[in-house]
Amino acid sequence: MKVITIVGARPQFIKAAMVSHAIHTHNRKNNNQIEELLIHTGQHYDEAMSRIFFQEMCIPTPTWQLNCGNISHGAMTGRMLEEIESILLKEKPDYVLVYGDTNSTLAGALAASKLQIPVAHVEAGLRSFNSAMPEEINRILTDHIASALFCPTKSAVEQLKNEGILNGVHHVGDVMYDAALTFGKIAEQSSPILQSLKLNRKQFRLCTVHRAENTDNQERLTGIFRAIEEIATEDYPVVLPLHPRTKVCLERFGLTSQNPYLRIIPPVSFLDMILLEKHAFTILTDSGGVQKEAYFHQTPCITLRNETEWVETVAAGWNQIAGYEKENILNCIASIPTIREEIVDYGTGKAAERIISLL
């Protein structure tokens, strides 16, 4: 069986690493029954956010490296669609494997469906119910195209059922949980980030901001930036690894800080990010992946959006929805619940093995 995997952004690199490892293990036991070829669309073009992830997680070198980043949504998706289609026409895979909700995901699913190649969607069934988010459109369309839908949670299975999608749906657990278990131990042994930033465990806050709905909106980005500037103190500094899009927008809107305890740093490697997540006192983020990683590492999270796909983390008290207004964010910081419940819905750390078995 030949599988072509399509990735283009940080969360997909992490998920693909676990599935690639499961394929390697399967082939070692079954005499190389699955051939996996990788397309990297180039959606994340920053060196620290792309190539280093492949190196740290031992993801197979991409067979095809496209250059589809740093352009508008329409142009990006169109360019990906054209280039992916030409590859699929030549390779004729048995499955196209896509992850999550990016433009790379939608372009891969569309290209495959036009050629009647089955699509497998990892992380199917998630909904934010915010149609203004490009990611929401991407995930809905991909789910309605896919032949195999691998859901991380039971609520995702129910959502697909509500939309009339019943065939090919599987609750496999979350490959991000697989990754948290695998790479959390590695990060503890190999990442020097806490020492290099002179951070004490559980005595700093971590913040990430990258979604266009926040970065491209001056009011939203200002509210978030001023809130994290205010909570950054000598006892609890705030570490902000700066996404390339966020850096451009901060400069455009003239947002600067004189607070020495707001530590704005370049993007960090995957293992460094895991260690920061594990040992932060609190995480503030607009990233769906980081919200989940916060839960997996038992770090309270404040979501800088008006909704989340990961409703289970909110119900269990590990995640608060703050939005982008300064006062709301400060209120959440001041009222983090002390009683939190465990979630058992993300599987047992064997999601990638389950996916390969089903394929």
Cα-based distances in Å from 108 to 121, 326, 337: 10, 38, 41
Domains delineated in the chain = 2-171 (3.40.50.2000), 191-334 (3.40.50.2000)
Question: For this structure, is 210 an active site residue?
Answer: yes
Of the residues 210, 243, 279, 297, only one is catalytic, namely: 210
Give the H or E element holding residue 185.
Answer: helix 175-190
| Sign, Cα dihedral of 62, 13, 100, 323 | negative
What is the spatial distance between Cα 199 and Cα 294, in angstroms, rounded to a whole number?
A: 18
What is the spatial distance between Cα 124 and Cα 126, in angstroms, rounded to a whole number?
A: 6
What is the spatial distance between Cα 219 and Cα 255, in angstroms, rounded to a whole number?
A: 11
pTM confidence score: 0.88
Per-residue pLDDT of the chain (359 residues; tens, 9 = 90+): 999 999 998 789 889 999 999 999 999 998 879 999 999 998 865 555 566 667 777 777 899 999 887 788 899 999 999 999 999 999 999 999 999 999 999 999 999 999 999 999 999 999 999 998 889 999 999 999 999 999 999 999 999 999 999 999 999 999 999 999 999 999 999 999 999 999 999 999 999 999 989 999 999 999 999 999 999 999 999 999 998 889 999 999 999 999 999 999 999 988 999 999 999 999 999 999 999 999 999 999 999 999 998 988 999 999 999 999 999 999 999 999 888 888 778 999 999 999 999 99
Q: In what order do the strands lie in the sheet with 238-241?
A: 262-265, 238-241, 205-208, 282-285, 301-303, 319-321
Q: Are the C-beta atoms of residues 220 and 326 closer than 8 Å to each other?
A: no
Q: Give φ, ψ of 38 to 5 degrees.
A: -115, 130
What is the identity of the amino acid at 265?
I
Q: Are the C-beta atoms of residues 336 and 300 closer than 8 Å to each other?
A: yes
